[in-house]
């Protein structure tokens, strides 16, 4: 199939390459000319603008969007819809909030364009291993672009999830679960690292990955990380979040669903970014006030 790919970053660039390897014709578009040229060097057709990209596609068109969630996605969707026509398909494969996807689907519907929200998981390994795809929207449009999905995903790796918003909702919860998994691994390995035993963490992960109940792809990646650096000395303990874990916790509250693990894993990420916790200072001061407990002062050893 021929399609346009907007956004050629770590995910979009690799997805473009996988599509080209699968025999698809990709018209590549990105604000960074170097990214477009790299895609062209791999066999893509380059476009100088969104309008130029749309013009290079024969109707009915298929355009895949891989740009940062939020205002950038909304602005790009609106710009594309200005040039796209009825019966075209616009796919948002980024990490948009599912409520934003509902808004985008409504805007597309007014233009007669079919909108699909594709939750995409696979990270930098997706080029080689494939991407897990959760796709919401019009089912006929999903089936129409299934050759693209089949190329991007591993066998049985893509799913029609239901009406608009459902694909990004599924991906949101997927990432919330990921937060909890990573936090559990992090805490467990810290207990091992601080123990009185000379554990080889790479060896531990290796044996866990051979039949244990907690074997997983993150555990395999941990084995690789510990093989490169046994105590992660060069890694700063600062953990960012891209939004989905936060949205999952907020949605759980809206649905009255108790989700303590997912929520606490998000809060642990927030704590990781503080060089000094003001709340801990308050607690230390209060313990001193009511119980005379010693306070460690700044600069003291």
Both tokens assigned to 230:
């046994």
Could you give the strand order of the β-sheet that contains 158-162, starting from the edge strand earlier in sequence? 45-46, 25-29, 2-6, 62-65, 89-92, 114-121, 132-137, 158-162
β-bridge partners, 65: 6, 92
Phi, psi of 87 (to 5 degrees): 80, 0
User: Cis peptide leading into 60, omega within 30 of 0?
Assistant: yes
Catalytic residues: 171, 178
- Cα separation values, 174 from 11, 162, 206, 245, 270, Å: 17, 16, 25, 9, 19
Q: How far apart are CA 69 and CA 171, in angstroms?
A: 13
- Helix (H, G, I), strand (E, B), or coil: what is residue 2? strand
Q: How far apart are CA 146 and CA 272, in angstroms?
A: 41
Q: Output b/e per residue, 184-198; b: 16+ Cβ within 10 A.
A: ebeeebeeeeeeeee
Residues 6+ apart with CB under 8 A from 240: 269, 273
């Amino acid at each position: 199939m021929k399609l346009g790919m907007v956004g050629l970053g770590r995910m979009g660039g690799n997805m473009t390459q996988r599509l080209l390897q699968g025999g698809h014709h990709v018209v590549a578009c990105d604000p960074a000319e170097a990214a477009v040229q790299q895609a062209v060097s791999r066999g893509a057709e380059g476009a100088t603008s969104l309008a130029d990209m749309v013009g290079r596609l024969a109707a009915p068109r298929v355009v895949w969007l891989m740009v940062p969630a939020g205002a950038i996605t909304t602005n790009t969707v609106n710009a594309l819809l200005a040039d796209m026509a009825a019966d075209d398909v616009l796919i948002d494969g980024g990490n948009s909030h599912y409520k934003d996807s509902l808004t985008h689907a409504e805007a597309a519907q007014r233009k007669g364009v079919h909108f699909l929200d594709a939750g995409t998981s696979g990270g930098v390994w997706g080029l080689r291993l494939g991407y897990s795809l959760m796709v919401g929207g019009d089912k006929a449009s999903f089936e129409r672009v299934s050759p693209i999905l089949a190329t991007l995903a591993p066998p049985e790796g893509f799913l029609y999830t239901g009406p608009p918003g459902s694909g990004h909702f599924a991906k949101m919860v997927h990432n919330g679960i990921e937060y909890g998994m990573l936090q559990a691994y992090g805490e467990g390995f810290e207990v091992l690292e601080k123990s009185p035993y000379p554990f080889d963490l790479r060896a531990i992960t290796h044996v866990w990955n051979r039949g244990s109940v907690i074997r997983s792809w993150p555990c395999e990646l941990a084995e690789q990380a510990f093989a490169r650096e046994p105590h992660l000395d060069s890694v700063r303990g600062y953990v960012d979040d891209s939004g989905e874990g936060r949205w999952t916790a907020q949605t759980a509250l809206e649905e009255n669903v108790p989700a303590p693990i997912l929520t606490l894993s998000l809060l642990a990420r927030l704590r990781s970014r503080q060089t000094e916790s003001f709340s801990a200072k308050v607690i230390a001061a209060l313990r001193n006030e009511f119980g005379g407990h010693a306070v460690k002062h700044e600069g003291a050893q």
